[in-house]
A and B are shown apart, each in its own frame.
Chain A
Amino acid sequence: MTDDRRHQRVSVSVTVNGFEHELDVEPRITLADSLRSDLQLTGTHLGCEQGACGACTVLVDDLPVRSCLMFMFQVDGRNVTTIEGLASENELHELQRSFLQSRALQCGFCTPGLIVGIVGLDRKLTKEEVRDYVGGHICRCTGYDSILKAAEEYLSGRQMLVEEPPDES
């Protein structure tokens, strides 16, 4: 039995980490799989393909998404940022440096998803809210303490860490 699905292709124009790409992909290929296999950007990891662990987090138009739950064709015309796009030249991104300084990783598998996700935070947060955000990522190695420390240090450096929730009335 030949399956017509395998012959279907859809064109995708997408900017990834500042570079424009034109791809012809199967409609059913996920954003995560296409980034990893079509673009060789293997820094985005797959921990569950069920949307539960956060390891596959990338930014689409600057907001964090679970790339295992999106199709590649859904980012047609959009901007994607992966872990590979955070450092500039040979300089690490501040959050990458915070992670290293706070020893916020051991095996490194959850690390790219966490870093990209935290970079994608776009509002001021309290410590509790930071913990809530990090609660969307599974880490089996660290116990989260050092990850929270790295995140708080980075957000604090950007004046994004606040005592009280902003403007709750």
Chain B
Amino acid sequence: MSHREDGPKRNLVEGRAAYVADLAPPGTLYAAFVRSVNPFGSIRHIDISEASRVDGVRKVFTGADLANSVRSLPIVAPGQPAQTWFPLATNRVRYVGEPLAVVVADDPYAAEDGAELVFADIEPFSPIASVASALTGQSINADLDTNILFETHKTGGDPDKAFSDAAVVIERSFQQARQTPLPLETRGVLASTDIYNQTLTIHTSTQIPHIVRTGIAKSLDRPETTVRVVTPQVGGGFGLKTQVFPEEVVVSWLAVEVGRPIKWIEDRRENLIASGHAHEVTVDARIASDSSGRLLGLDIAVTADVGAYSIYPFSASLEPMTTAGFVLAGYRIPSIRMRARGVATNKCPSGAYRGVGIPPGVFAGERMLELLSKELGVDRIDIRKRNLVSSDEMPYRTPLGAEWDKGDYHEAFSQVVERSDLRQLEAERDQRRESAVVLGLGVVFFNEHSGTGSAAYRARGVTIVPGFDAARIVVDPDGRVLVYASSADAGQDHAAAFRSAVSSELSITQTRIDVIEGDTATCPAGSGTFASRMGSSQLSAVVLAARKLRKRLNVVAGAVLDCAPTNVVVADMRYRDPSSGRNCSFDEVVAAAHLRSAAFAPRSDFEPGLEVQGSFDLPLPTYPYGAHVAAVELDRETFQVKVQRYIGVEDCGRVLNEDAVHEQLVGAISMGIGNALLEEIHYDEEGQIRTSTLLDYLVPLATDMITPELHRIEHRTDRTPLGTRGVGEAGTIGAICSVGLAVADAISILGGEMNRLPMSPGAIYTAISKSRQGTYS
């Protein structure tokens, strides 16, 4: 069923919302995937004989069974030949966890019994578990002769001159570890066809229903009209669910092949090792500055370990390309040289995770400012003020060609300094330098892109993401207003925002409005939900559609009231012609549109019915921005970190719903704290993944969190109809970087330097010991 907003979340507290795992039509069979235990090798043979004999197992399939009826998908990344993507490993395995067979059984336990008995005979190749070995070793993908899946470079201004003129040059390498979005609901797919296989219906926990439809239709070589993707209630996405996954294609194929509904629900171990990873990015950076701390130039090389292959649809360019554009985001730098690469290794493929490439870039840039400020003896606040782009320079075009829309970066920064009472915090930090528990401070400024449109995606070489968002609004004969949107809710309460906007545009009460998302049979095609695009792009499509509808309603009202549509005034669901005093209700207008078209046909502007569509494609992204401060305590004996205080000033443009914006920020901040302090996926040198349970991969708990102090400023962008910018990722970017900087600050008090995230106690200990050894040697 399409996702219908059914009261204010009541069904969620009652446990009555249907997530994909809760769906089980009669006749459902269950799938379990067999996954490689080798990181890299050639498949000699897959023995399914024992598995096939397990009681309850119906059939076992391997990649060879799919070869004739499933097509490979081309993945295009700029500057590289197209890779092909096939959902089950056929000749090679490329990472631990890669699916290579699937068992179909009467119940999930039997399916797992069967999966345990499938034996894959793999001839191992030497595993490639790092970028360094990827650059010299064998190509992981048989159809490519390189492990560099993506590469680009760009130069703006005159970096050579900037570096030769510089009074100071700082050079460092910064890293963020491999992490994974870990929504609490794992992935899951339920696919079925009707009896004549005319429509294949796929219920999947996804953020991109239309793109999944396209991917599956192409893979199974059938028209998109015969494929219906429906999102059930989705238990969080955070970027993970913005890929078309092998399991989605295979389960869909099974539904057609077997002729029964097929259900697969991922378990947490699979989710940790084989769904989607992210964030493993190194930024090698140099900055050039004059003696007063004014930045002259930036030279960066970004390398992302993107795992075994380029994912569909965003490709291996997603993170490195983004990171490279956001080092020192918000600051004025006349000359920039950038290189960015995505390199394949024998690890789970990387995709999106809230913030998507921006955090490593901002972390690198802000750490460089800290190091520069120390080197020059210039105060950390002054050095930022000296270089932050001012509002009269905006819109500001960077040397790399990004154009930041008008905002007041200085206002955000000054406010966070004032509201955090940063000078006072600095004094406290200095007082506690010798204490058992020291205080570290991080202050960061950042901007981020939101609502990336088609132009920006094509410029980045991403050809499969539409980049626009759409909405269809229908007024039913009974007077209910239905908003069908191309976005997909994973918990962000899109419906509240859309209802509010439509209510305001049409002057009708919110209780008349239903919002439907996530059903490709009824919702218009668009991009889905990622890149914070709800507030910026999707909402804009809804507003444009609503404005078209308002015009149509006015035409009908003009017909009913016998006046020009432009004379009609609307308030509180009544339409009025001020000159004659005649008026009618919204319901009378709706009835007229549906049942009185014969009477109004002579009016040339009258069109029967009330259904409109609007779409929106941001020609340039809009840039939300913020300034955040974190104060952390670091125990000099245990190296435990505790976030003591968090202050954020954020500009996400116009806000329709304060509560929703606040809760996005708080949730995102907690995610960012996790990324900065706790989360890390480990692979050993043999390419074996070590983090497969939630006791290995740590995410923030209530005991890790504080209540952030959040403040908003509002400069409406001119790039969206309402002036909204989006807010989904700001808290994560701000928290990763401000907390990372705060811990680095505390570490520097203890004599060490650390430029890698996460800053876990063990890593902090190593950073400090290394420095001490350096001192004594």
Q: State the A residues within 8 Å of B (CB).
A: 1-3, 6-7, 26, 28-29, 33, 36-37, 41-50, 52-53, 55, 82-84, 87, 92, 96, 99-100, 103, 105-112, 115, 131-132, 134-148
Contacts and interface: CB of A to CB of B under 8 A. Distances in A.
Interface string B641-680: 0000000000000000001000100111111000000000
Nearest to A105: B12
B694 A96 contact: no
B13 A140 contact: no
A144 B13 contact: no
Contacts of B269: 50
A145 B709 CA distance: 12
A138 B694 contact: yes
B699 A138 contact: yes
Contacts of B493: 106
A50 B560 CA distance: 64
Chain A residues touching B, majority SS: loop
Interface stretch (B148-156, B229-237, B626-634): B229-237
A134 B235 CA distance: 19
B183 interface: yes
Interface string B103-137: 00001111001000100000000000000000000
Interface in B16-71: 16-19, 21-22, 24, 50, 53-56
Contacts of A146: 663, 666
Interface in B63-86: none
B600 to A, nearest CB: 45
A156 to B, nearest CB: 17
Contacts of A45: 19, 21, 184-185, 235
A111 B13 CA distance: 6
Q: Which of B117, B184, B235, B695 has most A Cβ within 10 Å?
A: B184
B268 A108 contact: no
A40 to B, nearest CB: 9
Contacts of B113: 3, 6
A51 to B, nearest CB: 9
B55 A6 contact: yes
B762 interface: no
Nearest to B272: A48
A107 B16 CA distance: 13
Contact of B667 (A53, A96, A142): A142
A26 B663 CA distance: 43
A132 B701 CA distance: 9
B492 A135 contact: no
Nearest to B674: A140
B22 A42 contact: yes
Interface string B216-239: 000000000000000001111010
Contacts of B110: 6
B750 interface: no
20 contacts: A1-B50, A1-B54, A6-B110, A33-B109, A42-B15, A46-B265, A49-B268, A92-B13, A100-B13, A107-B490, A108-B233, A109-B19, A131-B703, A136-B701, A140-B182, A141-B667, A142-B663, A143-B708, A146-B666, A147-B702
B403 to A, nearest CB: 32
A137 B109 CA distance: 26
A105 B14 CA distance: 12
A42 to B, nearest CB: 4
B184 A100 contact: no
B185 A109 contact: yes
Contacts of B699: 138, 140
Contacts of A96: 13-14
B184 A47 contact: yes
Nearest to B52: A1
Contacts of B476: none
A98 to B, nearest CB: 9
A42 B18 contact: yes
A96 B7 CA distance: 14
A50 to B, nearest CB: 5
Nearest to A46: B21
Contacts of A43: 14-16
Q: Which of A41, A50, A108, A111 has most B Cβ within 10 Å?
A: A108
A148 B707 CA distance: 10
A36 B18 CA distance: 12
Given A135-B703, A143-B669, 8 more contacts: A3-B113, A37-B107, A108-B12, A108-B235, A111-B12, A111-B13, A132-B703, A143-B705
A57 B186 CA distance: 17
Q: Across the A-B interface, give the 3 residue pairs with the lowest CB-CB distance, nearest first.
A: A43-B15, A107-B491, A108-B12
Nearest to B110: A6
A33 B22 CA distance: 11
B732 to A, nearest CB: 11
B6 interface: no
Interface string B677-695: 0000000000000000111
Contacts of B671: 140, 143
Given A42-B18, A106-B663, A107-B490, A100 B694 contact: no
Contacts of A138: 184, 694, 699, 701
Contacts of B9: 100, 105, 108
Contacts of A29: 109
A82 B15 CA distance: 9
Nearest to B183: A140
